Amino acid sequence: MAGNFDFLKSTDKELFSLIRDSEKLFRDEYFNQCAVQLRIFAEKTAKKVLGQDSKEMTFDDTINCLKDKIQTQEEKEFVEDLFFIKRAGNKCAHGEDIAPTEVLEAIRRAFEIAINYSYSKKKDEKIKKLCFDETLLITEKPQKEQKLVDEYIRLAQEEREEFLNLKQGEFNSNVEKTIDGRKDESYVSKVNKYKKKSKKELTPAQKRVKEKIKQARKVIKEKVNKSTKSKKSSKKKQKVSKNKYIKHIVFMIFVTISVILLTKMIFFF
């Protein structure tokens, strides 16, 4: 797997092993342990830079000796990075929690320390041009490669969504009822269209009922006409036929109600 510190492997395998373990701890979210491991890396690097005189020295004494020898801006930044990593590591060693962002900053500074150390050993200008890649730290893949992977994932998701939408459309067009028995929108629209057409075409049974309604209406008209004529012919006959007239009215009401009920049966059943 690629890493930010691969250049260090050919310079110092011990330091490379320490920093690779630090990166793994960070990826696994063991931030406190990572900070402590970075402190060990920084201390060993500082003593290697100072040389034989640092063997019996503490980390603080080593940093102070390097501070007294500062001559360039790079050396000043080197010492500042050592101080930062030492403070972060000491905090975690004493049981305090540390923010992931602070650990990430410590790894960035460890990268600069490794660059300075490797350059002092090899004097290779290419080392100075190396840049820290946060994506490489987290995914173990370079940023450019990770962007390509993300693009493939995005395209795959789009194809999956398109396929699901296509299948959903086919499902909606073919299925007339859902599992629970409710009619879906496509089924309802088909039924409504069928109902509109069916209103224009009556079944034989509906035609027979409709004919009976016409006959009933004809009977009503005839009886109304007869009752009206008998009323005009004679007042005496009108008194005599009063009871018959009432019966006729009752009959008319009955027939009218029957007509209404039959009409509802035709158009609603």
> pLDDT truncated to tens, each residue of the chain (269 aa)?
578 999 999 999 999 999 999 999 999 999 999 999 999 999 999 999 988 777 788 999 999 999 999 999 999 999 999 999 999 999 998 889 999 999 999 999 999 999 999 999 989 999 999 999 998 898 877 665 555 455 556 666 777 777 777 777 776 766 554 555 554 555 445 445 544 444 456 677 667 767 777 776 777 667 666 665 665 555 555 555 566 767 777 777 877 877 777 776 665 55
Is the C-alpha dihedral spanning 238, 240, 241, 246 positive or negative?
A: positive
Task: Tell if the pTM clears 0.85, that is, is over it.
Answer: no
User: In CATH, which superfamily holds the domain spanning 6-141?
Assistant: Nucleotidyltransferases  domain 2 (1.20.120.330)
| 76 CB-near residues (< 8 Å, 6+ apart) | 70
Domain ranges within the chain, ordered by starting residue = 6-141, 142-178, 204-268
